[in-house]
Amino acid sequence: MQSAQQLINGLMLGGILAFVAVAFTLTIGMLNFLNFTIPALFMLAAMVTWALSASGEHIFALGLPWYAAAAIGIAVAMVASLIIERFTYRYLKAHYGDATEHALPLVSSLGFLIIFEHAVITLWGSDPQRLELPFRDMDLHFAGLIVGIPHLFSLGLAITLVWVLSWLLKRSSIGRALRAIAENPDAATLMGVEVARIVPVVFLVTGMLSALAGILYGFSYSTVTPYIGDAVATDAITGMVLGGLGNVWGAIVGGLLVGLIKVFAISQFGAEIEKIPVWGLLLLILIIRPTGIFGKSRLGRGKF
């Protein structure tokens, strides 16, 4: 019974990691860009949701209903993601040709991560804050097991969104243009794909996914801090590598696996070593199977 509950906890944590892993894998697969601002957007959306919905002395303490605060949190993250696109990917591409050939976007996205963290700390301080949904009982109980409703919702939403996303990538005109950009941005331009107008769509989608993940994380664990992005980032990157770079379904499976490994490692060996199994697994995968569990990554194929 104990381990059945651990299994559920692991899958629930994995559901959130999967969200973030999908955001990572999408920018890597499409743009060959490891976007470190994803954890910043994750944290930003959660903190904005808390600030707007909580009542208190802090700035923007509007006491909005949770759903309005969450919607604004998502919108803020999406706008921030567009700004990041403008100043990391597009600016550097315009100045140095193919931005994907350079480490510059990666480094500048790390810069954005730190700037966002510290902007949030300056606004609202670094203390953990309570973010709670107004419903009284947030858990489902059956057969002695507890399943958190926000967790369950998170997992369901992640799978639904990825299904929609992969359907759009396959079937829509913009999806086909994106896959062409993923294969060869220069040739895509010459075929009439307006890369500069389509790339921001990737950033809007990653902004939305990261923000949803951050808000669901906040509601699931009832706590937000300006540092929640850091912890999630490393786990989500491991999930992404596990599933295969650029593979959105792989990212879901990878995220779930990392969630399980974390929860079981903590229950077996204690919280102090939780990073070791996750990073150990990442290194192991990179050594023995760098393409990830699913071998071929459909989007980033031929790029790594």
C-beta of 151 vs 298, nearer to another protein:
298
Q: How many residues bind another protein (CB under 8 A)?
A: 22
CA distances (Å), origin 84, targets 6, 109, 111, 197: 38, 8, 10, 15
Task: Report, in Å, the least distance between residue 174 CB and another protein.
Answer: 5
CA dihedral 257→262→267→268, nearest 10 degrees, is: 80
Task: Report, in Å, the least distance between residue 242 CB and another protein.
Answer: 22
Under the binding rule (CB under 8 A), the answer on residue 143 touching another protein is no
User: What element of type H or E holds 224?
Assistant: strand 223-224
Separation between Cα atoms, residue 80 and residue 76, nearest integer Å:
6
Burial of 17 (0-12, 13-18, 19+ CB in 10 A): buried
Separation between Cα atoms, residue 138 and residue 145, nearest integer Å:
13
Q: What angle do CA 18, 24, 30 make, to 5 degrees?
A: 125
C-beta of 103 vs 191, nearer to another protein:
191
C-beta of 176 vs 289, nearer to another protein:
176
Segment 166 to 205, residues that bind another protein, using CB under 8 A: 171-177, 179-180, 183-184, 187-194, 198
C-beta of 128 vs 295, nearer to another protein:
295
C-beta of 176 vs 275, nearer to another protein:
176
* Closest listed residue to residue 278, CA positions, set 256, 258, 292: 258
Task: Report, in Å, the least distance between residue 31 CB and another protein.
Answer: 16
Task: Report, in Å, the least distance between residue 179 CB and another protein.
Answer: 6
Cβ-proximal residues to 99 (8 Å cutoff; 6+ apart), any chain: 33, 89, 90, 92, 93, 105
CA distances (Å), origin 8, targets 59, 149, 151: 37, 12, 10
Task: Report, in Å, the least distance between residue 28 CB and another protein.
Answer: 16
C-beta of 275 vs 301, nearer to another protein:
301
Task: Report, in Å, the least distance between residue 249 CB and another protein.
Answer: 17
Segment 207 to 226, residues that bind another protein, using CB under 8 A: none
List residues near another protein by CB under 8 A. Answer: 171-177, 179-180, 183-184, 187-194, 198, 301-302
